[in-house]
Amino acid sequence: MNNIVAIVGRPNVGKSTFFNRLIQRREAIVDSVSGVTRDRNYGKSEWNGKEFSVIDTGGYIKGSDDIFEAEIRRQVELAIDEADAIIFIVDVEEGITPMDDEVAKLLRKVKKPVLLVINKVDNAMREKDAVEFYNLGLGEYYTISGMSGSGTGELLDKLVEVLPEMPEVTEEVEPLPRFCVVGRPNAGKSSFINALIGEDRFVVTDIAGTTRDAIDTKYNRFGFEFNLVDTAGIRRKAKVKEDLEFYSVMRSVRAIEHSDVCLLVIDATRGFEGQDQSIFWLAEKNRKGVVILVNKWDLVEKDTMSTRDYERKIREELQPFTDVPILFISALTKQRLLKALETAVEVFENRKQRISTSKFNELMLPIIEATPPPALKGKYVKIKYCMQLPTPTPQFVFFANLPQYVKDPYKRFIENKLREQYNFSGVPIDIYFRQK
């Protein structure tokens, strides 16, 4: 399980440049996520062998200047609440501004590690100017240049040193599968879980969680045991506005990283909105199984076409990963709730299926022979052998004489053929082409 590091500060101090540097650092990078909230506000990074998730609060601020302050204060409060460490960025060119003072005031009360980072320090003169930031009362500071990257090494050394040790999850020898219920506030996550739990008394234990804000419920159905993780605004804060996009993404990050299958609950009356997509791509980039549950279906006016139309619209938004189960449910009337769990169990099984190398070659090589990759610069790509890699999520490798000539459309073609032959519904697949 990863620590979460939040980057805070007022607008235009270079938070995003620093964030991008963390995420793109070649030797220190695990995954950079572009689908999430289009502004690239979430990613994973690694330094000295320690992996952590990074959240940049920058891109979430919307509204005019006078709304900025309240909005920034709210994001800092959230970061204080949810993150394990906070990087507070200020700008040496502008010196201490009233808004920096405000943020510092909030951060001085915090019991978590806070690193004060002074950006745009790219010469000795500016090193001297940085001294005034001692006045923020946050102690030692780190000077960096987000553009050139100088100073980030020492900062990251310190960061991984102060990150708290994450508790080892001690569970049975074979840990129970974890299904997490995610979605925007008010989509009906709690009602969904309450309907399941209220309906049958299979609940064994309530563990207030391994993740600080998700509640695990051990659940036993269809002769199948699993943990149901509820992310529905546990510890709701009066001062946190429910509609803040940052809030639900930050909540979901932890739950998604720590689960096997995500049940994404969306509100049928509102449609598949930007924030639902953010959470969907978060799950997809983390290579988790996904089931989409369209809740409050009892409230929607229906005609003969409506489920088909609704489903088609959602699939258009999900492209290219459209092989995802979509179920229409109602937590209120308890419609199709058990079907939802049954589907999650199927997706879990799909995600861990293993295909024998001989069978895989028998099936895929004739397809490739019939439709080989298009020739490039007069050179023909030959694929002679393929196999599934022994990884926790489905990954397949195809050995070719000129792997660099295989482009994305052909990879998608191979993935589609693979999905036609095997049931990987709800599961992201990775396909690689390597030198023979």
Tokens of 111: 């019991």
Handedness of CA 41, 42, 44, 46 (dihedral sign): positive
The DSSP code for 210 is S
In this structure, the number of other CB atoms found within 10 A of the CB of residue 271 comes to 13
Rounded Cα–Cα distance for residues 206 and 404 (Å): 51
Rounded Cα–Cα distance for residues 24 and 54 (Å): 12
For residue 250, with 0-12 CB atoms within 10 Å meaning exposed, 13-18 middle and 19 or more buried, which class applies?
Answer: buried
The DSSP code for 436 is -
Annotated binding site: 9-16, 56-60, 119-122, 183-190, 230-234, 295-298
Residue in this structure with the two tokens 């938070």, named with its chain if needed:
15
Which helix H or strand E contains 295, and what residues bound it?
Answer: strand 289-295
Rounded Cα–Cα distance for residues 362 and 94 (Å): 65
Let me know: does 22 contact 73? Beta carbons within 8 Å: no
Annotated binding site for GTP: 9-16, 56-60, 119-122, 183-190, 230-234, 295-298
The DSSP code for 46 is E
